[in-house]
A and B are shown apart, each in its own frame.
Chain A
Amino acid sequence: DTAVSQTPKYLVTQMGNDKSIKCEQNLGHDTMYWYKQDSKKFLKIMFSYNNKELIINETVPNRFSPKSPDKAHLNLHINSLELGDSAVYFCASSERGGGPPRETQYFGPGTRLLVL
């Protein structure tokens, strides 16, 4: 029973295409996140959604748009893909506030995006 799942695991596409990555969590958390891990392995926050409201947007280009149909899902849509978008994208979830240990973020397995 996977806690945080992502699809697809691998995504190879051409520059200029539009693609989506899906994320689902079955932990009952109310906050979900998207992180980008570049080739140097740095993890950087992109978005956070709490109860379907965007609460963080770390200067990500507007080609990236998170969409949350409900609190168990947070999808990432990317328009006009560029070479520099190649990276591993991780979804995570937690409970907002509430103190430890519920605020711990749990990560999905990642989606490896390669833009050619």
Chain B
Amino acid sequence: EDQVTQSPEALRLQEGESSSLNCSYTVSGLRGLFWYRQDPGKGPEFLFTLYSAGEEKEKERLKATLTKKESFLHITAPKPEDSATYLCAVRGPAGNMLTFGGGTRLMVKP
């Protein structure tokens, strides 16, 4: 069974204080690791897909990396508008099913 664990559950940062979010996964045959952002009261918003170890993707202050066991979402010089819950999900070999982690709630204070 595919499993995804995200840490920490919550992270408080000062504006400009860089940090990383972790996503550890177990899947038999990874067919994609996905990062989403979810704002309160809204649906998950797609950020990145990573497919193979060593792959990196960047978008503004966010950078996602992937190893064979985990993915990191690095946030450089965050701003208050980066505050949200960040969700990680993996897709295994069977169909299009995504298995999600519990998310990391990021709070960036000005």
Q: CB within 8 Å of B: which residues of A?
A: 4, 31, 33, 40-45, 48, 50, 55-56, 58, 90, 92, 94, 96, 100-101, 103-110
Contacts and interface: CB of A to CB of B under 8 A. Distances in A.
B102 A40 contact: yes
Interface of B: 32, 34, 36, 41-46, 49, 51, 85, 87, 89, 91, 95-100, 102-103
A106 B46 contact: yes
Given A45-B97, A56-B95, A104 B103 contact: no
Nearest to B89: A43
A43 B46 CA distance: 14
29 contacts: A40-B102, A41-B85, A41-B102, A41-B103, A42-B102, A45-B97, A45-B98, A45-B99, A48-B95, A48-B96, A50-B96, A55-B95, A56-B97, A96-B96, A100-B32, A100-B49, A100-B51, A101-B49, A103-B32, A103-B91, A104-B49, A105-B46, A105-B96, A106-B46, A107-B45, A108-B43, A109-B42, A109-B43, A110-B41
